[in-house]
């Protein structure tokens, strides 16, 4: 009798354990894909696109499910082994709809650049500037945005950080190209803003796993994040922002001598910044009063601010102060993402701007029109929420630690530039296209130039980095002539590197 009870108890225990294990397995959801057929007409030719949007189950290195990973994949029908581009926006952490609906996908929204776009109905048109005639396209939404979220035992913080983000996107790309049979196709990464910082680390991460990229496309790049921070005792940010201050003043007619062109004017400003402004800041309080006054006057002449303002600022003006000061007398503030945009100054007594007119002007049309496309054209279930920014998620916090940035157990920088440098040296056929907006005060072009000039590349390898410039801002594709140039530059890059 006792043995029978033990046997029954053991059987019950096994049954409960099995049921519990089965129940736990059921709690890990599968991805959900929504299929549709889209088309785009480019140069008079219509391309039919098999389209998938939704999520796939992302697995870790041991094939354990860790996330539902969101994406949209456009594939040209009846075409084999075409190049494939993996694209994402920045943030961190922003969804990919900006690039998706701004320049890369089969449709785009028309906005009233560089002014405010009126409320709905918005105009959505065929995107003749899409890259889909050159390559298949995968728009990536990292975990925290779009439809992407952790599953199983994974947590948000497993994905929210420099290295965590690189790892998870690397896993997705590797698993995707295997499933899509693209291992032997030409492959590209395309990132905007923080997405370029991600790119610089991701290209090495993938290369170390045996997945070499044909090319990297950087839209509004930053590789050294300290360049964006006006930290105490660090003059670099003041120096690298200054040429964009000057470009902004040139655009708004706040300089006396504009020269023959914006390019020639900025060449002059670069020379002043390197040869006069930098040495002056390096001297600190050893700079004489007369020297300081002379530098302040030149800073004023090129930037559109006053000599007195620069003297009061000790020759150091942050970007937020510049946005606010340039057009203060007109009751306006200029844009951070695109300084061609202006908006009403909400507090003319404030030292720094309170808002970004460019973001205010384009965010509602982009978000509303893209979601309409997502749920109606791409056939996504309407009860699924598409998150445009992880900043809206409770507890969102980014881990800025990155391997290689630590010395003596201290984080001394936040940069992925060494990753990109290493990737280029270990793959001398890797090409990098960098697209810079002259009026971008979020990721400034002179900062990119500074980074590239400090990679320690020999002259021949440095030729693999191609720099292009646009008379627009962070999202240069909001400006129609720049959108056409974007298409031309990217097309040529893919043609040159995919054969």
> In this structure, what CATH number is given to the domain that contains residue 436?
3.40.50.1820
Is 254 strand, coil or helix? Answer: coil
What are the phi and psi torsion angles at 431 (to 5°)? -110, 145
- The last residue of a domain, from among 336, 357, 378: 357
Q: Which H or E element spans position 450? A: helix 445-452
- One domain, residues 471 and 442: yes
Q: How far is CA 467 from the centre of its chain?
A: 17
d(CA 97, CA 95): 6
pLDDT band with cut points at 50, 70 and 90 for residue 1: low
Give a yes or no: residue 6 inside a domain.
Answer: no
CA dist 107 → 41, 74, 128, 299 (Å): 10, 12, 8, 43
Query: Of 28, 54, 51, nearest to 381 (Cα)?
Result: 54
Q: 425-428: long-range contacts (C-beta < 8 A, 24 or more apart)? A: 425/457, 425/461, 426/207, 427/207, 427/212, 428/461, 428/464
- One domain, residues 238 and 220: no
- One domain, residues 39 and 163: yes
Is residue 26's pLDDT more than 90?
no
- One domain, residues 382 and 292: no
- One domain, residues 91 and 162: yes
Look up the pTM and report it.
0.93
**How confident is the prediction for the chain on average, in pLDDT?**
94
Taking only the tens place, the pLDDT of each residue in 78-132 is: 888 899 999 999 999 999 999 999 999 999 999 999 999 999 999 999 999 999 9
Q: In 10 A of CB 350, how many CB atoms?
A: 14
Is residue 8's pLDDT more than 60?
no
Tokens representing 465 are 């980095």
pLDDT band with cut points at 50, 70 and 90 for residue 483: very high
Q: What residue spans of 326-372 are helical by DSSP H?
A: 357-372
**227 exposure class (CB count in 10 Å sphere: 0-12, 13-18, 19+):** buried
CA dist 274 → 15, 159, 239, 456 (Å): 75, 39, 8, 19
Asked if 162 contacts 129 with a C-beta cutoff of 8 angstroms, the reply is no
Give a yes or no: residue 178 inside a domain.
Answer: yes
In angstroms, how far apart are the furthest CA atoms of the chain?
105
The number of domains in the chain is 2
Taking only the tens place, the pLDDT of each residue in 183-238 is: 999 999 999 999 999 999 999 999 999 999 999 999 999 999 999 999 898 999 99
- Domain containing 286 equals 234-357
- One domain, residues 242 and 214: no
DSSP assignment of 139-185 equals EEE-TTSBT-EE-TT--GGGTSBHHHHHHHHHHHHHHHHHHTT-TTS
Tokens representing 297 are 């006057």
Give a yes or no: residue 452 inside a domain.
Answer: yes
Is 387 strand, coil or helix? Answer: strand
Is 424 strand, coil or helix? Answer: helix
Is residue 19's pLDDT more than 60?
no
Is residue 16's pLDDT more than 70?
no
Q: Euclidean distance between the first and final Cα of the chain, in Å? A: 78
- One domain, residues 368 and 352: no
Give a yes or no: residue 46 inside a domain.
Answer: yes
Taking only the tens place, the pLDDT of each residue in 333-387 is: 999 999 999 999 999 999 999 899 999 999 999 999 999 999 999 999 999 999 9
d(CA 291, CA 288): 5
Report the pLDDT value the prediction gives residue 410, as an integer from 0 to 100: 74
Give a yes or no: residue 61 inside a domain.
Answer: yes
Is 279 strand, coil or helix? Answer: helix
Give a yes or no: residue 25 inside a domain.
Answer: no
- One domain, residues 346 and 392: no
- One domain, residues 318 and 380: no
Report the pLDDT value the prediction gives residue 9, as an integer from 0 to 100: 52
Asked if 325 contacts 309 with a C-beta cutoff of 8 angstroms, the reply is yes
Is residue 467's pLDDT more than 90?
yes
Report the pLDDT value the prediction gives residue 405, as an integer from 0 to 100: 82
- One domain, residues 100 and 195: yes
List the Cα angle 46/52/57 in 5-degree steps: 160
d(CA 306, CA 418): 39
Report the pLDDT value the prediction gives residue 4, as an integer from 0 to 100: 60
Is residue 271's pLDDT more than 90?
yes
- The last residue of a domain, from among 357, 373, 388: 357
- The last residue of a domain, from among 328, 357, 386: 357
Give a yes or no: residue 171 inside a domain.
Answer: yes
Average pLDDT over every residue of 473-498: 97
Residue 369: DSSP 8-state: H
Asked if 438 contacts 445 with a C-beta cutoff of 8 angstroms, the reply is yes
d(CA 51, CA 35): 6
- One domain, residues 327 and 410: no
Average pLDDT over every residue of 396-420: 87
d(CA 368, CA 381): 16
- One domain, residues 190 and 249: no
Give a yes or no: residue 4 inside a domain.
Answer: no
């Amino acid at each position: 009798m006792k043995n029978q009870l033990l046997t029954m108890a053991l059987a019950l225990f096994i049954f409960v354990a099995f049921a519990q294990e089965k129940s736990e397995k059921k709690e890990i959801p599968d991805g959900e894909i929504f299929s549709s057929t889209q088309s785009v007409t480019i140069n008079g030719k219509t391309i039919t696109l098999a389209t998938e949007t939704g999520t796939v189950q992302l697995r870790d290195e041991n094939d354990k499910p860790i996330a539902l990973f969101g994406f949209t994949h456009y594939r040209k029908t009846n075409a084999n082994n075409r190049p494939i581009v993996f694209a994402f926006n920045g943030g961190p952490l922003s969804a990919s709809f900006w690039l998706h609906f701004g320049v890369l996908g089969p449709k785009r929204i028309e906005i009233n650049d560089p002014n405010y776009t009126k409320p709905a109905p918005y105009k959505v048109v065929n995107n003749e500037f899409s890259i889909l005639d050159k390559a298949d396209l995968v728009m990536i939404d990292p975990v925290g945005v779009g439809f992407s979220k952790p599953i199983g035992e994974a947590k948000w913080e497993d994905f929210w950080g420099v290295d965590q983000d690189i790892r998870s996107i690397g896993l997705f790309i590797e698993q995707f190209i295997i499933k899509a049979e693209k291992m032997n196709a030409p492959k590209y990464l395309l990132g905007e803003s923080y997405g370029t910082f991600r790119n610089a680390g991701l290209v090495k991460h993938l290369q170390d796993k045996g997945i070499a990229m044909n090319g990297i496309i950087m839209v509004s790049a930053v590789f050294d994040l300290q360049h964006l921070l006006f930290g105490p005792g660090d003059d670099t940010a003041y120096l690298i922002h200054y040429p964009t201050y000057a470009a902004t003043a040139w655009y708004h007619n706040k300089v006396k001598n504009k020269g023959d062109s914006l390019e020639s004017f900025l060449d002059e400003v670069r020379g002043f910044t390197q040869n006069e402004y930098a040495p002056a800041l390096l001297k600190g309080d050893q700079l004489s009063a007369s020297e300081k006054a002379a530098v302040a006057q030149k800073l004023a002449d090129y930037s559109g601010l006053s000599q007195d303002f620069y003297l009061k600022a000790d020759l150091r003006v942050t970007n937020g102060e510049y946005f606010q000061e340039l057009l203060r007398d007109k009751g306006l503030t200029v844009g951070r993402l695109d300084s061609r945009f202006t908006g009403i100054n909400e507090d003319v007594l404030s030292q720094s701007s309170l808002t970004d007119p460019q973001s205010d002007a384009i965010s509602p049309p982009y978000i509303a029109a893209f979601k309409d496309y997502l749920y109606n054209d791409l056939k996504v279930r309407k009860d699924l929420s598409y998150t445009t920014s992880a900043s809206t998620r409770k507890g969102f916090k980014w881990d800025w630690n990155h391997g290689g940035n630590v010395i003596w157990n201290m984080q001394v920088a936040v940069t992925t530039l060494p990753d990109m440098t290493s990737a280029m040296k270990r793959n001398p056929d890797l090409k990098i296209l960098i697209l810079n907006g002259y009026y971008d005060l979020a990721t400034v072009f002179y900062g990119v130039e500074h980074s590239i000039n400090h990679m320690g590349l020999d002259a021949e390898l440095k030729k693999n980095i191609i720099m292009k410039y646009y008379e627009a801002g962070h999202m240069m594709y909001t400006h129609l002539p720049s959108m056409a140039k974007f298409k031309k530059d990217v097309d040529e890059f893919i043609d040159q590197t995919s054969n």
